[in-house]
Structure 1
Amino acid sequence: MVLYMRFQPAWNISRLQDYINVRGKITNVEDLHSKLSKWGELQGYKRNLESYILETYHPIENREAEVEIYLPIHRN
């Protein structure tokens, strides 16, 4: 499994919210959450527990669906 994790600013309601995100197979959603959280900690990011986690689901023809997970973080 190849994971691509990154920092990404995004709009949340009327203010800017920063996220870290990862995308992978939907059957690995629990593992993706865990690895993204650990990666964020290693990068020095702190989770923003007052904002919502975002998950987007992506059906892919002739393959297993994928999920993209966005974890909200506090700005440094």
Structure 2
Amino acid sequence: MLVAALCWLGLAWHAAAKKRYVQAAWLLGYAQSARKLGSDPIDTLPSLLDHQESMTAPVRAELDAAEFEH
């Protein structure tokens, strides 16, 4: 699950950078689910936490809470 979570995070970050916020939110959700099921890449590689926060912030800002959590 670690590899899947890292892949989904990378794809989510790319989508966010391209301003594809709905796609980024879905991918962040997949990554979050994978993180809960297995090894957490954020725990394994703490430097990812800052990057994840910086990429998640614009997605949250562009989508309303219900859309982001969906």
TM-score by length of 1: 0.33
Larger Rg over CA atoms: 1
> Going by fraction, where is helix more abundant, 1 or 2?
2
The answer to which structure, 1 or 2, has the higher relative contact order (CA under 8 A, 6+ apart) is 2
